Amino acid sequence: MKHKTFFWFILPTFLAMFFFITLPIISVIIQSVHAPHESVFATVENCDPFGCKKVTAIDHQATKKLKEDNPFGKFVGFDIYFDRGHLALEQLKIQWNNSKNFFEFLDLLTNLPLYKAIFFTLTFTFTVTPIMLVLGLLVALGVNTINQKLKGLIIFFSLLPMIVTPLIGSIILFWMIDSRGIVGNFLQIMFEDPNLSLKASTSLTWITLIVYGVWHAIPFSFIVFYAGLQTLPKDQIESAKIDGANTFQQTVHIIIPHIMPLITFVTLMQLMDNFRVFEPIIGFNAEAHATSLSWIIFNDLGGETRQLSAAAASSILTIFGIVILLLPVLIKTWKEFDFKK
């Protein structure tokens, strides 16, 4: 397909991306450099038969006019990005000077909201993704070798974790590990400790969230890899068997190279999906032990005070993190694109 033809073919998609992705991101950027207006106070003198008294109260008309004149709020530049709730540069400097070594600095770093969320987000992303890839491939290889009559039933049950919505799935597992649940109650009996709780430990909470992430993501990698295995050339496998290659050698030298584009695709999709982990934290009610970048945005938008500017800054930092994850692939694609055609 010539580039001009491709341009007109892809133009509707670009227009949709501009109006529904680019413009919202621009509005978020603008909001992130503005802080909410403070209320305008006025001092009035109230007099009665017993004397006069000065009272300070909110001037609603002046406050309303101020918001109408500057709907985005007061321009503060990048101050929100550098406050304690985000990059916290001032706090980082203080903690670095007060730390005896680098490990103590890292420990103090997790007390800051954004870095605590980044630490869990990266741990979750780079733990769940490789485990999901390996287990998904193993399940696909196993299902591909079983009897044809059983494949449909096994594929159906293998896809159940993906069919169940993340929030419902996390809530189900949350009650399973609760002290009144099957797993939680079993562990209390096994260790003879009625006060044992998987939800009371930060480490156990992280492990539980990671296990759930793997359980929920495996079906996606499995079904993609299984579809790729159906296109595997039979003659290559037969030739390898004749040459004496065992199952492991066939997998490493024939199967994996054949489905490598699918492995790259699944990796990118899961990196993006895991980087915005949110539902498991809500479902497990794990905010005290684990927070993510998406949870910070949700927390800023919720509650009695809706901190739109703080949520906007967190959103931009999250987008920046996703871009970093995708940058190697984007650079590779850019280099491989032939502009002369």
pLDDT tens for 24-39 read: 889 889 988 888 777 7
Q: Is the pLDDT of residue 135 over 80?
A: yes
- pLDDT for 291: 92
- pLDDT for 336: 62
Which of 228 and 7 is assigned the larger pLDDT? 228
Give me 198's structure tokens. Answer: 């998987």
The 3-state DSSP composition of the chain as helix, strand, coil percent (nearest 5) reads 70, 5, 25
Show the CA angle centred on residue 315, arms to residues 311 and 318, nearest 5°: 140
Of 317, 271, 277, 332, the residue nearest 81 (C-alpha): 317
Which helix (H) or strand (E) element contains residue 57? strand 51-58
Which of 292 and 108 is assigned the larger pLDDT? 292
Q: Is the pLDDT of residue 15 over 70?
A: yes
Is the alpha carbon torsion for 237, 238, 240, 245 positive or negative? Answer: positive
Q: Which residue has the tokens 């993510």?
A: 292
Of 71-80, 125-134, 161-170, the poorest mean pLDDT is in 161-170
Q: Is the pLDDT of residue 305 over 80?
A: no
- pLDDT for 341: 53
As a whole number, mean pLDDT of residues 157-181 equals 75
As a whole number, mean pLDDT of residues 78-103 equals 87
- pLDDT for 3: 64
Q: Where are the domains of the chain?
A: 127-336
Of 281, 299, 298, the residue nearest 290 (C-alpha): 281
By CB atoms closer than 10 A (0-12, 13-18, 19+), residue 297 is buried
- pLDDT for 338: 56
Max CA distance (Å), the chain: 111
Chain-centre distance for alpha carbon 267: 14
127-336: CATH number: 1.10.3720.10
Beta carbons within 10 angstroms of residue 54's beta carbon: 8
Mean pLDDT for all residues in the chain: 83
Q: Is the pLDDT of residue 221 over 90?
A: yes
Instruction: Please state the φ and ψ torsions of residue 58, each to the nearest 5 degrees.
Output: -70, 130
Read off the pLDDT of residues 191-205 as tens digits, 9 standing for 90 and up. Answer: 777 777 777 778 888
When pLDDT is cut at 50, 70 and 90, the band that residue 120 belongs to is very high
**Residue 320 to residues 276, 313, 317, Cα–Cα distance (Å):** 12, 11, 5
Tell me how many helices (H) and strands (E) the chain has. 17, 4
| Phi-psi region at 9: left, alpha or beta (left = phi > 0; alpha = psi -120 to 50) | alpha
When pLDDT is cut at 50, 70 and 90, the band that residue 304 belongs to is very low
Specify the 3-state DSSP secondary structure of 67.
helix
Beta strand 74-75 with 34-35 is antiparallel
- pLDDT for 306: 59
Q: How far is residue 294's CA from residue 278's CA, in Å, rounded to a whole number?
A: 6
When pLDDT is cut at 50, 70 and 90, the band that residue 218 belongs to is very high
When pLDDT is cut at 50, 70 and 90, the band that residue 20 belongs to is confident
Q: Is the pLDDT of residue 340 over 60?
A: no
- pLDDT for 252: 87
- pLDDT for 136: 93
- Three-class SS string for 156-222? HHHHHHHHCCHHHHHHHHHHHHCCCCHHHHHHHHHHCCCCCCHHHCHHHHHHHHHHHHHHHHHHHHH
